[in-house]
Amino acid sequence: MKGRLERFFAACGQCVTLCRGEKQIALRASVQPQTSGGEDPTAATPLGAVDERRWVYIGPGNTALFRHDLVESGGERYRVLSATPVYLGETVLYWHGLLRLEREAAG
């Protein structure tokens, strides 16, 4: 199973840079919009409308993902809101993360 996932990331993953402080790690992972079930992804705030879309990160098990890391992909920077390892037995198969655009995460 782990070998299949590694081949999937190598063949179908996007070029991603994981930024943790000064450290940058180039890898292949998937960053896709989270589906919202057709709801409007904006919310009204006292400062105007805010885009509440989230993105889902699925990345290789050998590169940990942590809350507050930055993920760069497709010309965008995303802040990691949550990160969870997904296991098969004792082995981390992949990392699942929920991301938000960095320019919005600062607010």
Q: Single out the residue of 77, 62, 96 nearest to residue 17, CA to CA.
A: 77
Please report whether residue 66 resides in a domain.
Answer: yes
* Residue 59 counted as domain residue: yes
Q: Are 71 and 105 in contact (CB under 8 A)?
A: no
CATH (domain of 58): 2.40.10
The three-state DSSP-derived secondary structure of 51-62 is ECCCEEEEEECC
In a domain, 42, yes or no: no
Q: What is the pLDDT of residues 16-26, one digit of tens each?
A: 999 998 999 99
Confidence at residue 106, expressed as pLDDT on a 0 to 100 scale: 52
How many domains, in total, are found in the chain?
A: 1
What's the half-sphere exposure (Cβ side, CA atoms, 13 Å) at 2?
13
Contacts of 76 (CB under 8 A, 6+ apart): 101, 102
* Spans of the chain, pLDDT less than 50: 49
- pLDDT of 51 reads 57
The answer as to whether 21 is a domain residue is yes
Is 0.95 topped by the overall pTM?
no
Range of the domain at 27: 9-34+52-105
